[in-house]
Each structure stands twice: as C-alpha cells, then as structure tokens.
A = this chain, B = another copy of it.
Amino acid sequence: MIDAVAFNDAGLVPVIAQDALSKQVLMVAWMNREALQETVDSGQAVYYSRSRSRLWRKGEESGHVQHVKELRLDCDNDVILMQVEQVGGIACHTGRNHCFYKKLDSQGQWQDVEPVIKPSDEIYSKKDNNP
C-alpha cells in the first residue's frame, strides 16, 4: 500500500481532506510514510507537520480529530484524497469549518467569506507557551 505512493523528494505526499458528507474540501496537508501508515492503522488522520518536523495527529490539541472514511490515490500516485468525518465541524486552525475561506471576487481581491465558528485562542487554550 505504502510502496505504491510516489512520495516527493522530501518523503512527503499531499493529502486532501474532504468532508465525507458535505463534500466540502476541508484542508490540504502532508503525510510521510509513517503518517500514512498510522492513518490507515488508526482510522484517524495523522499528518506530518513541516513547520514542526514531526507527526501531527490532527486534533491532538484542538480535539478536532478526523475519522477517515476512505482513502484514494490519483493517477500519478502522488496525491491522496481522503474522505473524513470532521469532529467538531472545525478543520481550520483559524476556527473555521475549512481552510478555503478566501474567495476571489470580481474585483480580483481575496475576500474572507466564511465565519469563525470558534476563535483560535479558545481552541488552543490548553496550549500555553508562556507559563
């Protein structure tokens, strides 16, 4: 299963998380081999955080885990499409339902068009970097 995936030079593959019911594209993140294997084994989305250089078990801080319903691979074996059930209805770290909240308007401007469901400082209040 893993060997069929064409990871890039950094050992990563982009993964699209799509809401299994609404079909809204929620977010795009990356997996390495270990993250993909743990995702399949656990049934919950595990990504690789490029900024933190470690596995990122989606929802580990926010509680907004993703239950995986289906995994698909594209024709070039280098993109994964994942159907998920998004716990809490919030996929984006900004507190929105999904990450694609900037819409190009007719004036050529990106406009925020999705509401913040929960402010991020409430989502991540458990994480205190300034004790």
Residues of A bordering B, CB below 8 Å: 1, 4, 14, 16, 18, 23-25, 27-28, 40, 70-77, 79, 81, 92-94, 96, 99-104, 108-110
| In the complex, the 3 A-B pairs of residues with the closest C-beta atoms, listed nearest first | A23-B23, A74-B99, A72-B100
Known: A1-B109, A14-B14, A16-B16. A103 touches B25 (CB 8 A): no
Cβ contact within 8 Å between B104 and A70:
yes
Residues of chain B within 8 A of A75, CB atoms compared: 92-94, 96, 99, 101-102
CA distance A63 to B86 in the complex (A): 37
Q: Which residues of B contact A81 (CB under 8 A)?
A: 25, 100
Question: Contact between B74 and A27 (Cβ–Cβ < 8 Å)?
Answer: yes
- Please, which residues of chain B bring their CB within 8 A of the CB of A108? 1, 40
